[in-house]
Structure 1
Amino acid sequence: MLKKTKSTYDFAFSTCRNISCPDDDSAQRKVYSGHAPITSVLGLNDHENVREYLVEARGKQKHSPTLVHQAIRKTLKDHPEQFSVLNGGMVIVAHSAELDDKTKILHLNNPSIINGSQTQGELKRYVSEYGSDLDFTPNIKYEIIVTTDEDLIAEISIARNFQNDVRAISIAGRRGQLDQLEIEMQKHDSKIKLRKSETDLTQDDEFLDTEKLIQVIFALLPEEILAKLNIIDPSNKVFAYSQKTRCLKLYQKIVEDESPEIYNCCLQIAPHAWNLYKKWKSHPEFKGTRLRSITRDEGSIIDVPDGIVFPIIAAYSAFVRRTSNGWKIQQPKHLTDKELINSAAQAYMEIAGHNPQTMGKSKACYSSLYTITSIYAKLEKK
């Protein structure tokens, strides 16, 4: 079985072959493959994987078992002797490995599952349920990649998980593309932790909704910055509301392209964008507007739909300025929140037909609010 001694694990195997190719040898890495008793993988860490066991993500909220989970359970229960050929197996990375053929043990340094967390979760469940009553201990196929190249480990983890429909947030998080954004947010609130994986849950407020944050960043970006991203119509912010995945992929592209002007603008306006989002989601001056889609409780504003909030945030982009201290929002003193609310309510009723989703997807609604803020912005310059 698997035994932990500091950062070294003794991985007991049934069969093991060194299948390293010349490419591996030249890159100073090794690849081992074979079969091992399922008990050998139960204690493995999965810190390098793009996501953990989904049924018990972070042990807080249980997700319903998928068809994959159900299939693994059925095989283990009904045909455990077929598990080694029916299951896709497990991919493991380690920084170093020492093979002992006599004892049939691989001594692994700092190992981690990078593909197979769902299988491991189901195996733990199976062993926990049957325990000492197991009449037969199945084997599992494994592949162990030995390398100290952290960037390669990240890319292997992503590539080996594509067949399981890994969400873009997990890929961005695993590549470290959200780390600097988190640091920038923590400058304004040290308690903030960004969601960097689909298994990081936002319901209990431990993690901030990173995808939503990136959406509001794009809503607030000034046209001059959006134009540099080769967006066909930089004045049209509808995509910020309606295309969450596109926003995340655009942000990933900004990080990968290493464009300091665009990237710094995104980072520096991020806290402002999020504060605007939180402010307008429950702005008390929506009281009395009689907008039916707003959630109220004893007269208090509980939730304003995103379809109304996003055009308002986009209107603030008229006030985003590059200063000697970075990108800031410089809102004119004479523009009141009440005026913006009245304009938003008018667009909601006359353009969007009292439908917040229509408002969020209507360029005309964004334009009507931006026209007002741009007028104030021009007057402020004079």
Structure 2
Amino acid sequence: MTAGHGTATGAFKLPYSLIRNLTSPDEKANGVQTWFANVSARDVLKIGTEDNLRSYIAEHAQSKRNPVHKQIQNTIENLPDRFINRNSGITITCTDCEVDDSKKAAHLSNASIINGAQTQGELRRYLTSDEGEDADFMVRVEIIMEPAHDQIVEIAIARNTATSVKSVSQAGARGYLTELKTSVEGALPGETLQMSETDTAGLNTQAVLQWSRLLMPQKMLGAGAPRNFAYKQGGKCLTDFSNWASNVKSDAAMKKMYDFTVQIGPIGICEYRYWEQHEGWNGHRLHEYGKRSDKPHGGRPIKRDKTSGKVVWVAPGILFPIMSALSAFVRQKNGKWLLEKPKLFKEEELIRRAVQQFRALDRDVAVMGRSEAAYDALSIYTETIATVLADK
């Protein structure tokens, strides 16, 4: 097999922050040992992939990057502190392993990644870019020490054979996404929705459902529904939508939420894109280091165009509370759900409040995305305007 990046033959030193030996009696009887370790994402880049069944798919052609790659990228860029939980990790095999806990390092012989080459590829893609040059976060690895190389081959085959059917594919196959797809295509010519994990064209289905969920009025969600749900449990937005779709004929409340999502979907897409490149972000210096030379935490807050210097992207952790606040202006008219911003509403003021919350939360993107207080603080502004106008 062709070796990937790094060197798999000979000795390899893998630093770690924590390691545990979880070898079972059966493994021990076969001369095998297994460890689980938390390691730096940057150290993962140095390990070869020659015993893997496939190397990084998009290594030679970026067009081969599929939705799985993009989901990994999304977590790396926007939720790096959650990467170790959201990613299934990396499996490394070796013919020998010596753990030196006094120096926090594992010395591996003939090390190779046999499961996780796509994760490694996406890590390399980001950490070697301008955006990720200062980033570092943890990755969980499984180290399997198997002295017999022919058995390593069998392990690699077994670990890469079973492929589960993903939720988007299931929802698409059952027709749950059909009306939403039609709604998006009808309102936004040239756009479409991904109907399975293998679709490379179209909008990310989970993202569209998250944006739609953020715009759902609080009365429809229920008084106790957390505003930060779409950020903290993005995957459940698809689960919930599928549940609503399967019960539209038997449950009026679910039908209402399903119909809302189908109608508001295109609006959510346009609104999210609008705020992502809003002129109001310029001048707030969200990307700069603090007084103590500390950088923003929990992911990159913004990206700028290299030519104009203007903001062209804002992290979801900052945008999600804004989208949630806009739900105060969502109304149903003549059976259609619309987002109507009143003249009294000042977009720059909402951005100013978002920046204020970001700084109050120690400039941590991920914390802001999860903070109920941040959502409440921004919603106070829009809900106050909505209430004043309703009383007139």
Quickly name the TM-score band, shorter chain normalised: 0.5 to 0.7
Aligned-residue identity in percent: 31
Does 1:200 pair with 2:205? no
Larger Cα-atom Rg: 1
Match of 1:349 among 351, 359, 363: 359
For residues 373 and 346 of structure 2, what CA distance do their matches in structure 1 show?
Answer: 22
User: Aligned partner of 1:377: which letter?
Assistant: A
1:237/1:283 Cα in 2 relative to 1: closer, same or farther (>3 Å)? same
For 1:1-382, what aligned pairs fall within 5 Å after superposition? 60-61=63-64, 164-201=163-200, 206-227=201-222, 233-234=224-225, 236-258=226-248, 259-292=254-287, 293-297=301-305, 298-350=308-360, 352-381=361-390, 382=392
SS class of match (1:187): helix
1:365/1:67 Cα in 2 relative to 1: closer, same or farther (>3 Å)? closer
Tell me what 2:140 maps to: none
For residues 116 and 207 of structure 2, what CA distance do their matches in structure 1 show?
Answer: 29
Q: Deviations over 1:93-132 (max 9, x none)?
A: xxxxxxxxxxxxxxxxxxxxxxxxx98xxxxxxxxxxxxx
For residues 302 and 255 of structure 2, what CA distance do their matches in structure 1 show?
Answer: 39
For residues 369 and 375 of structure 1, what CA distance do their matches in structure 2 show?
Answer: 10
Q: Which runs of 5+ in 2 are unaligned?
A: 1-54, 70-112, 118-149, 151-156, 249-253, 288-300
Shift of 1:164: 2.5
Shift of 1:179: 0.8
Q: Which runs of 5+ in 1 are unaligned?
A: 1-53, 70-77, 79-86, 89-117, 120-162
User: Aligned partner of 2:255: which letter?
Assistant: P
SS class of match (2:187): coil
1:312/1:68 Cα in 2 relative to 1: closer, same or farther (>3 Å)? closer
User: Aligned partner of 1:199: which letter?
Assistant: T
SS class of match (2:199): coil
User: Aligned partner of 1:354: which letter?
Assistant: R
Tell me what 1:4 maps to: none
For residues 281 and 327 of structure 1, what CA distance do their matches in structure 2 show?
Answer: 22
For residues 309 and 177 of structure 1, what CA distance do their matches in structure 2 show?
Answer: 27
Shift of 1:299: 2.0
Shift of 1:66: 7.2
Instruction: Note if contact 1:344-1:369 (Cα within 8 Å) is conserved in structure 2.
Output: yes
Tell me what 2:49 maps to: none
Q: Deviations over 1:322-362 (max 9, x none)?
A: 21141111211121110111011111111x21111110000
Shift of 1:306: 0.4
For residues 333 and 114 of structure 2, what CA distance do their matches in structure 1 show?
Answer: 50
User: Aligned partner of 1:233: which letter?
Assistant: G
User: Aligned partner of 2:345: which letter?
Assistant: L
1:339/1:225 Cα in 2 relative to 1: closer, same or farther (>3 Å)? same
User: Aligned partner of 1:380: which letter?
Assistant: L
User: Aligned partner of 1:294: which letter?
Assistant: I
SS class of match (1:321): strand
1:196/1:321 Cα in 2 relative to 1: closer, same or farther (>3 Å)? same
For residues 282 and 178 of structure 2, what CA distance do their matches in structure 1 show?
Answer: 38
Q: Deviations over 1:116-172 (max 9, x none)?
A: xx98xxxxxxxxxxxxxxxxxxxxxxxxxxxxxxxxxxxxxxxxxxx6222211111
Instruction: Note if contact 1:173-1:196 (Cα within 8 Å) is conserved in structure 2.
Output: yes
Instruction: Note if contact 1:194-1:208 (Cα within 8 Å) is conserved in structure 2.
Output: yes
For residues 68 and 353 of structure 1, what CA distance do their matches in structure 2 show?
Answer: 33
For residues 191 and 66 of structure 1, what CA distance do their matches in structure 2 show?
Answer: 39
For residues 225 and 239 of structure 1, what CA distance do their matches in structure 2 show?
Answer: 14
Instruction: Note if contact 1:182-1:192 (Cα within 8 Å) is conserved in structure 2.
Output: no
Instruction: Note if contact 1:295-1:301 (Cα within 8 Å) is conserved in structure 2.
Output: yes
Which portions of structure 1, spanning 4 or more consecutive aligned residues, are displaced by more than 3 angstroms?
A: 54-57, 62-69
Shift of 1:196: 1.2
Shift of 1:180: 0.5
Instruction: Note if contact 1:55-1:62 (Cα within 8 Å) is conserved in structure 2.
Output: no
Shift of 1:268: 1.2
SS class of match (1:172): helix
User: Aligned partner of 2:261: which letter?
Assistant: C
SS class of match (1:328): strand
1:198/1:344 Cα in 2 relative to 1: closer, same or farther (>3 Å)? same
For residues 55 and 173 of structure 1, what CA distance do their matches in structure 2 show?
Answer: 27
For residues 164 and 209 of structure 1, what CA distance do their matches in structure 2 show?
Answer: 20
For residues 173 and 322 of structure 1, what CA distance do their matches in structure 2 show?
Answer: 27
